[in-house]
Amino acid sequence: MNGIRLSVPASATRDEVIQVKAMIQHDMESGYRRDQVGQRIPRNILKHFECFYGDQRVFHAELNPGVAANPFFSFFTRATDSAELLFRWTDQHGQTWTASRFLEVTDG
């Protein structure tokens, strides 16, 4: 259901700084809105976004109710070794969504 879009270069030279982008489809319902009959719409948000490069967590963001729907993150990391980049989103109930891409690092 939750679509995920990732942008990670397939390969990079060692020590190159690469840009990584990730977007997930999520309502990020703030919990402050009311529906047409005045009932409060329950909060339903992602709380964490993390990126692991091999064994190392290279990026972490804590999300709050003010974040818009379909959160999009873009960040930079240094290519060190060939390894998997694992992206993980965790919602307020602890449910997680993951996606990954393999980064090939060459000694160019």
Partner 1 sequence: MRLITALLATMAMQLALAGDAPADLPRDAAISGLAFLTEETKALQHDDFANPGLLWVDRGRALFNQKAGKASCRSCHADELAGVFVRYPAVEASSGQLITVNDRINRCRSRQQGLPPLAPAADELLALSMFVAAQSRGEPYAVSIDGNARLHFERGRAYFFTRRGQLNLACHQCHDQNWGKKLRGDTISQGQPTAFPGYRMEWQSAGSLHRRIQDCDAGVRAQPLQQGADEYKALELYLAWRAGSLPVESPGVRR
The residue with tokens 């270069």 is 9
Interaction between residue 18 and partner 1 (CB under 8 A) = no
Q: Which of 11, 44, 70, 92 binds partner 1 (CB under 8 A)?
A: 70
SS3 state at 30? coil
Residues numbered 73-92 forming contacts with partner 1, rule: CB under 8 A: 74
Closest CA to 91 of 6, 2, 22: 2
Q: Where are the beta strands (DSSP E) in the chain?
A: 4-7, 11-13, 17-24, 46-53, 56-62, 72-78, 83-91, 96-106
Interaction between residue 15 and partner 1 (CB under 8 A) = no
Residues numbered 39-58 forming contacts with partner 1, rule: CB under 8 A: none
Interaction between residue 60 and partner 1 (CB under 8 A) = no
Q: State the minimum distance, in angstroms, from the CB of residue 84 to partner 1.
A: 20
Interaction between residue 5 and partner 1 (CB under 8 A) = yes
Task: Read off the tokens for 12.
Answer: 């990079």
Binding site for partner 1 (CB under 8 A): 3, 5, 7, 21, 23, 25, 27-28, 68-70, 72, 74
